[in-house]
Amino acid sequence: MKNTTTKIIVIFVVLVAVFIVYTKWNYISNYVSGILGSGNTKIFKIVGTDIGPYLQGDNVVAEKDTYTKRDPQVGEVVIYKKTVDGKTVEAIGTIAGLPGSAYKGNYAPTNYYLIRKENSVEIVPRDKITWLVFRKAL
């Protein structure tokens, strides 16, 4: 009996590992986030070096409802929406300037924020900033 239970556990672990390897990360992160949280948290995989090479390829956990309660602050890592080639995508960056401030020659008008990426600064409307990154994930 004990030997059969061990085999079943090993088979289950192998199946889960195969599922993770052959499934897109975004689907897995949404599924895990739905199980672990109330849908207000999500795991994002950082692609490229948008916020520096030190987080390249890492997974981070972000919270969605933070900015319904308060405004973004300088230094926070955020996920925001932007349009690329006609499609809305989510990008990651660090808040570098608040509305009415300047950073590296860029000025943020009212209700816009300056978001620093590794080699550039983007001016992003407040309503496009949707997620606060609060820690690295496994």
Condensed to tens digits (0 to 9), the pLDDT of residues 86-127 reads 999 888 888 999 999 988 889 999 999 999 887 889 999 999
Q: Are residues 16 and 52 in the same domain?
A: no
Q: Are residues 23 and 89 in the same domain?
A: no
Q: Are residues 19 and 45 in the same domain?
A: no
Q: Are residues 64 and 80 in the same domain?
A: yes
Whether 31 and 39 have beta carbons less than 8 Å apart is answered as no
Q: Are residues 93 and 26 in the same domain?
A: no
> Rounded to an integer, what distance in angstroms lies between the CA atom of residue 105 and that of residue 99?
14
- In sequence order, the 6+-apart residues with CB closer than 8 A to the CB of 81 are 88, 89, 90, 91, 128, 130
Q: Are residues 30 and 88 in the same domain?
A: no
Condensed to tens digits (0 to 9), the pLDDT of residues 38-91 reads 567 787 777 766 666 566 667 788 888 888 888 999 999 899 999 889 999 888
Q: Are residues 26 and 46 in the same domain?
A: no
Q: Are residues 66 and 78 in the same domain?
A: yes
Q: Are residues 20 and 80 in the same domain?
A: no
- The domain containing residue 1 runs over which residues? 1-36
Q: Are residues 27 and 86 in the same domain?
A: no
Number of domains in the chain: 2
